[in-house]
């Protein structure tokens, strides 16, 4: 689900989950490195991956499902490109 930097700012900075200065630094780093800002925020421990997922799901009116503890069939795993699987753990 694609989300803009400004939408993310509204979800994280305005409610006080992340300081504006930290968000701005992460946004700048995202531009410089060509990485998703979501990844930068998590990599810098500014927010937990699961919390970010929950906030985005809530904003979009969707249920958040944590798949970390679920067994996913091998047939499904074969569909996911290796690069994506490795980058998402």
Residue 67 pLDDT grade (very low, low, confident, very high; cuts 50, 70, 90): confident
CB contact set of 13 (below 8 Å; sequence gap of 6+): 19, 20, 23
Residue 1 pLDDT grade (very low, low, confident, very high; cuts 50, 70, 90): low
For residue 71, what pLDDT is reported?
85
Domain of residue 9 covers 5-87
Nearest residue to 5 via CA among 16, 65, 89, 20: 20
Q: How many domains does the chain have?
A: 1
CA angle 32/81/47 to nearest 5° reads 45
pLDDT of 43 over the 80 cut: yes
Per DSSP, which regions of 1-89 are E strands?
A: none
- Summarize the confidence of residues 20-29 as an average pLDDT: 97
Q: Which two tokens stand for residue 59?
A: 């904003």
């Amino acid at each position: 689900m694609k989300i803009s930097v400004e939408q993310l700012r509204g979800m994280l900075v305005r409610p006080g989950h992340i300081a504006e200065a930290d968000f701005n630094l992460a946004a700048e780093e995202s531009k410089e490195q060509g990485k998703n800002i979501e990844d930068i925020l998590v990599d810098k421990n500014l927010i937990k991956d699961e919390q970010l997922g929950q906030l985005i799901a809530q904003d979009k009116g969707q249920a958040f499902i944590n798949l970390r503890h679920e067994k996913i069939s091998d047939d499904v795993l074969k569909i996911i490109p290796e690069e994506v699987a490795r980058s998402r753990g």
